[in-house]
Structure 1
Amino acid sequence: MPTTAVTEHPTAAALGRQERDVLAAVGCGLRDDEIAAALAIPEDAVAERLARVLAQLGLRDREAAIVHAFDCGLVVPGHGPRTQPVRPRPWTTGGPAAGPTVRISLLGPPQAWQDGRPLDLGHPRRQAVLAVLALCAGRVISRQQLLDDVWGMESPAANVVPVYIYRLRKALRVGDGPDSVIEYARRGYRLVSGAVDVDVARMEELVTGIRAADRAGEPAESVRLCAQALELFRGEPLAGLPGPWAELERLRLTERRIAILRRKLEWQLRLGQDAEAIAELFALFAAHPLNEPVAAMLMRALHRNDRQADALTVFDRVCHRLADDLGVPPSRMLRRTHRAILSGDEPGLGPAPSAGRARARRQGTATPG
């Protein structure tokens, strides 16, 4: 197997060719089985050679070997030692057939569990590396992409990604064996297919179900699925994670939550569940006071329930926030909703109900029409 030219270093010079090959492969974050396949040697020979490397270089563990492989020039960022493809290690504990044993939650502060036991994911940068892998749906993510996504314009040490992958593999190890949910493939990393259950993927499955229920004209089912999707959110998505990728994903997932909640509330209003919908709309409006579609929905719901004064107060509050925070006037949509309320109409939800009909709806009864 060809090796990268070795920078003159007293400890690196003490290694033989076989040991240098193993150290270079370890520096790329490969497992023993992956190294064995790449070097065409038995797996137990890998462990023996690595033990000799650690002893000759005075390194305490595999993690220190990863750092040393970069420091002495055996590994160049973006270049791996593999000369032939490596098949992933068979899933021996749990595995896809038995269902995922590792659950990862990103719709809030990042957390992970193995068979119900919480796992220590380390500091936020390491969590961010795992989050990138978890949200990329099995795609191979290169070391350079991880550096760009998690560190942005910063310039961390070149060996930081393999070190983080090594530590994450230890944290996410399945059972007592060497298997991990992270595999190396084509000079990059990815989560083993079917090995991990990510809450974001579950949320997207529910969104697909919501759309199907909408098309089938099943509003109650749509509301139920929306509620299930919203229960997956435990706060701000990817809370506390650094880097440009996390910031963009945080915005995307927050908008996703708002869209799901708006869909649920729209159906609740059409089903006559006004009291519940208005309470949630007020909470949503308080959390996102510059979101004009949310403000317009709240105004229409209040108008439907003979609360025109409250609806106009919401409009005034939005106008002041838009002017003070953004220096812009209300949108055409919000102004149109305001005019409709002043004229006694209700665009999008039909004419305003009479006082008796509104009271009956709030009490859950019907009046003859």
Structure 2
Amino acid sequence: MPTTTVVRCDRGVTDLTAEERRVLYALGCGLRDSEIADVLALPEGAVAERLGQVLGKLGLRDRAAAIVHAFDCGLVVPGQGPRGPVAGSTAGHGPGTAPGARLEVSLLGPLHTMLAGRPVDVGPVRQQAVLAALALCRNRSVSRRQLLESVWGRQMPDGNVVPVYVYRLRKVLRLGERPDSVIRRDRYGYGLVQGVAEVDALRMEELVVRAGEAERAGDLLEAVRLGARALELFRGEPLAGLPGPFAEAERLRLAQRRVALAQRKADWELRLGRRMEAISGLSALALEEPLNESVAATLMSALRCDGRRAEALAVFERTARSLTDDLGVAPGEVLLRARRAALRGEDVDTGRPGRAGAA
């Protein structure tokens, strides 16, 4: 067995995205590319691309080495079948991954649920919203009243709609014979059973915390790596299409979290002298957030530091025009300071999150 397969096992699997781990898991179970594509609802070409990324990140030569790696890391157990996708090491677990996790709930995009490695249809959108509320309230119970307010707001229905939705979710998400194997009930309400689920939004938060710790320790390379892994978890608009006040508030919070983290990562890259990487990421973010003055100011500062003053001023003009046309407002002080700094060649406070706190 190649030495690198064992030595890199502990760190390698935690470096993979959730989707890459699912591909490695399915490969270790002996599935062909066409079968993996069917199980994971991916185009077959995307499976080959993800596999290439897995091999590159783990330093493995080929598919055979990847299968061996899946067994060495405990992702698949000989004679027992698959244990489900885990993000851990030989004995431990990656951030946001519960020991023995069999359920994956992805909320950083349209809701997507995997049970024991297979996608699960968890029902209509309000039923999905109930699951999302339970998934984001880790290690605490949510009362029936709170779920009604979170999913229906002021238009709360009469009857037993919450118990009915929970019953249906328990039925489709059951692990083994116990109906409460995934969703428990106590005197305070409902909640996910501790240790059974991995939630991408919670994993993202833990990665951000670790990135902040790396920054405070002076390890900006590790901070960038962890920040990039956290950003990779986003698949579009968080909780896309889910109804209710709770989903709407979380959608806004998580979207703002992503923007703040992307700015923070760019700051780390600039401090490492990686100007092109920082500018590339900020340019893409500015196109997505044309009315965000802090993002525009950060991009202007990065361009100015790279000697591209004309481009920095062009960012100001584009953003100012968008603010005027779309909102009917003039640029704020953050953007005006960035413009003055670009004209004078000075540094500027862009209003992005401070270095000491988490993004």
TM-score under structure 1 length normalisation: 0.66
- Contact kept? 1:322, 1:328, Cα under 8 Å: yes
Extract structure 1 runs of 4+ deviating beyond 6 A.
Answer: none
Q: Within 5 Å, give how 1:208-247 maps onto structure 2.
A: 208-247=209-248
**1:220 match: secondary structure:** helix
How far apart, CA to CA, are the structure 1 residues paired with 2:272 and 2:247? 37
Partner of 2:327: 326
Partner of 1:138: 139
How far apart, CA to CA, are the structure 2 residues paired with 1:180 and 1:269? 47
Partner of 1:275: 276
Q: Within 5 Å, give how 1:18-167 maps onto structure 2.
A: 99-167=100-168
Q: Deviations over 1:31-82 (max 9, x none)?
A: xxxxxxxxxxxxxxxxxxxxxxxxxxxxxxxxxxxxxxxxxxxxxxxxxxxx
Q: When the two structures are aligned, how many residues end up with a matched partner?
A: 256
In structure 2, the CA distance between the partners of 1:187 and 1:298, relative to structure 1 (3 Å rule), is: closer
Partner of 1:338: 339
How far apart, CA to CA, are the structure 2 residues paired with 1:249 and 1:235? 14
Counterpart residue type for residue 281 of structure 2: E
TM-score under structure 2 length normalisation: 0.68
Q: CA deviation at 1:97?
A: 9.0
How far apart, CA to CA, are the structure 2 residues paired with 1:122 and 1:343? 58
How far apart, CA to CA, are the structure 2 residues paired with 1:132 and 1:155? 16
Task: Flag the structure with larger Rg.
Answer: 1
Please state if 1:309 is matched with 2:310: yes
- Contact kept? 2:139, 2:192, Cα under 8 Å: yes
**2:218 match: secondary structure:** coil
Q: CA deviation at 1:324?
A: 2.3
How far apart, CA to CA, are the structure 2 residues paired with 1:328 and 1:273? 34
**2:185 match: secondary structure:** strand
Q: Deviations over 1:173-224 (max 9, x none)?
A: 0035544311111151111111111111111111110111111111101000
Q: CA deviation at 1:100?
A: 1.2
Q: CA deviation at 1:339?
A: 0.6
Counterpart residue type for residue 107 of structure 2: L
How far apart, CA to CA, are the structure 2 residues paired with 1:144 and 1:341? 53
Q: Deviations over 1:311-352 (max 9, x none)?
A: 111101111222222222212121111111111223369xxx
Q: Within 5 Å, give how 1:290-309 maps onto structure 2.
A: 290-309=291-310
Partner of 2:261: 260
Query: Is the deviation greater in 177-186 or in 307-316?
Result: 177-186
Alignment RMSD, CA only? 2.0
In structure 2, the CA distance between the partners of 1:348 and 1:331, relative to structure 1 (3 Å rule), is: closer
**1:272 match: secondary structure:** coil
Partner of 1:18: none
**1:141 match: secondary structure:** coil
- Contact kept? 2:101, 2:198, Cα under 8 Å: yes
- Contact kept? 1:170, 1:180, Cα under 8 Å: no
Q: CA deviation at 1:244?
A: 1.0
**2:198 match: secondary structure:** strand
Q: Percent identity?
A: 57
Partner of 1:347: 348
Please state if 1:188 is matched with 2:185: no
In structure 2, the CA distance between the partners of 1:238 and 1:337, relative to structure 1 (3 Å rule), is: same
